[in-house]
């Protein structure tokens, strides 16, 4: 079973011991960030620094000439990942005997939304989400496709994992996030994530909906939640609040938009990649879910990509709908950082359970962020797996 650990280039570059230390965990592969969102990260073992502040979403290599003259283009990293940081780290990791796969974050970019507000998701109240590019807009789709190709097919990469290849919405964990004061539940998150930019307004029209009437209906549906009323029943609650035909029409538009983007991006990456290059998506088996793990239809996505990476921290139940398809790579993703909700001490049991549910591979988040104690637990778990 392939086990891969997530890594940032700044975990490796400047630390001559890093690649060997990661290999000593017992993993055979790393998933190395090539395009990543803004973050503030610990580097608890690095000889030169302990905190890295990535100030904006960036590619961690020099962007190519294809972006010249284009309005939407990736931003190069600052001093947190100078030059070809991905390439430098990839070489060191490969020399330590590890297979390198690229890790590409797509529809999650606060700087893009700040500098180009018209690209952002717009909710029913008219609020823009600068961290969430609307994937229905043609220019955004072209940008994401070209970014995926360039960032995924880097020298030294034998495959890629595409994160946030779908709708992003309200749930984001934005800087100093203060959105947890009202329990929105799944239904409220969906309603607050519906986009009303010009492209989406036109899209609702193709489903027989008037976008102004829909926005008003969404605002009305949310009122009880602002008052703290109402139980969340997931999609059933959305259908109850909007009416089943209207709810289904919004989902049809959004599902089709995400599906076609996923198809075109994966096809473009494959066309640019060498034979045998693996393309995986970070995915959630509920298609109306938004976020880094894009909501997908399991039966569809496993005919498009080579497989999926599924969040399993706290339980591996989301593997089941993908396992039912009996095809492709099914990678169970476990957080192994205790301070971020992981349980590295129970990793062996969690891997065993994931295998019972159909997992064919394992992902560990995150080799650079974990403490020495967490990494020792990972080593012990993998030695006994």
pLDDT in tens, 175-191: 767 667 777 899 999 99
- At residue 101 the predicted structure's pLDDT band, cuts being 50, 70 and 90, is very high
The structure tokens listed for 381 are 């778990």
- Answer whether residue 96 shows pLDDT above 70: yes
pLDDT for the residue 184: 85
- Answer whether residue 233 shows pLDDT above 90: no
- Residues 10-33 have pLDDT tens digits of 999 999 999 999 999 999 999 999
pLDDT for the residue 180: 72
pLDDT for the residue 171: 83
For 253, the 3-state DSSP assignment is: helix
Percentage of the chain modeled with pLDDT above 70: 98
Measured between its terminal Cα atoms, the distance across the chain in Å is 10
- At residue 231 the predicted structure's pLDDT band, cuts being 50, 70 and 90, is low
232 vs 382, higher pLDDT: 382
- At residue 174 the predicted structure's pLDDT band, cuts being 50, 70 and 90, is low
- Answer whether residue 47 shows pLDDT above 80: yes
- Answer whether residue 65 shows pLDDT above 70: yes
Mean pLDDT of the chain: 96
Q: Are 294 and 266 in contact (CB under 8 A)?
A: no
Q: Collect all residues with Cβ–Cβ distance below 8 Å to 323 and sequence separation of at least 6.
A: 330, 357, 358, 359
Q: Collect all residues with Cβ–Cβ distance below 8 Å to 237 and sequence separation of at least 6.
A: 185, 186, 187, 230, 231
pLDDT for the residue 142: 98
- At residue 266 the predicted structure's pLDDT band, cuts being 50, 70 and 90, is very high
Overall pTM surpassing 0.85 (yes/no)? yes
- Answer whether residue 229 shows pLDDT above 90: no
For the chain, list the domains and their CATH numbers.
Answer: 2-123+130-179+257-384 (3.20.20.80)
- Answer whether residue 317 shows pLDDT above 70: yes
Percentage of the chain modeled with pLDDT above 90: 93
Q: Collect all residues with Cβ–Cβ distance below 8 Å to 39 and sequence separation of at least 6.
A: 52, 53, 54
- At residue 260 the predicted structure's pLDDT band, cuts being 50, 70 and 90, is very high
Three-state SS sequence of 276-294 = CCEEEEEEECCCCCCCCCE
């Amino acid at each position: 079973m392939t086990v891969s650990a997530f890594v940032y280039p700044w975990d490796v570059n400047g630390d001559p011991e890093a690649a060997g230390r990661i290999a000593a965990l017992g993993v055979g592969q790393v998933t190395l960030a090539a395009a990543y969102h803004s973050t503030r990260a610990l580097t608890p073992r690095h000889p030169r620094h302990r905190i890295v502040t990535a100030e904006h979403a960036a590619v961690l290599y020099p962007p190519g000439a294809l972006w010249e003259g284009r309005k939407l283009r990736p931003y190069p990293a600052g001093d947190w990942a100078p030059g070809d940081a991905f390439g430098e780290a990839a070489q060191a990791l490969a020399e330590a005997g590890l297979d390198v796969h690229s890790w590409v974050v797509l529809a999650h970019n606060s700087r893009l939304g700040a500098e180009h507000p018209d690209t952002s998701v717009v909710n029913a109240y008219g609020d823009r989400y600068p961290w969430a590019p609307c994937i229905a807009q043609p220019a955004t789709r072209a940008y994401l496709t070209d970014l995926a190709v360039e960032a995924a097919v880097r020298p030294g990469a034998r495959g890629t994992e595409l994160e946030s290849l779908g709708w992003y919405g309200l749930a984001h964990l934005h800087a100093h996030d203060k959105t947890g004061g009202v329990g929105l539940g799944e239904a409220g998150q969906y309603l607050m994530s519906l986009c009303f930019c010009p492209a989406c307004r036109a899209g609702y029209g193709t489903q027989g909906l008037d976008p102004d009437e829909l926005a008003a209906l969404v605002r009305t549906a949310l009122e009880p939640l602002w008052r703290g009323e109402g139980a969340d029943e997931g999609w059933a609650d959305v259908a109850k609040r909007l009416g089943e035909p209207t709810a289904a029409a919004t989902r049809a538009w959004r599902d089709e938009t995400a599906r076609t983007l996923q198809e075109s991006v994966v096809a473009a990456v494959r066309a640019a990649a060498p034979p045998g290059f693996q393309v995986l998506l970070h995915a959630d088996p509920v298609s109306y879910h938004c976020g880094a793990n894009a909501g997908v239809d399991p039966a569809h996505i496993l005919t498009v990509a080579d497989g999926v990476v599924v969040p399993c921290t706290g339980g591996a139940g989301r593997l089941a709908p993908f396992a039912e398809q009996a095809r492709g790579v099914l990678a169970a993703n476990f957080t192994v950082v205790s301070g971020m909700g992981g349980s590295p001490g129970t990793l062996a049991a969690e891997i065993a359970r994931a295998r019972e549910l159909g997992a064919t591979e394992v992902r560990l988040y995150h080799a650079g962020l974990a403490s020495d104690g967490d990494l020792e637990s990972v080593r012990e778990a993998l030695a006994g797996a």
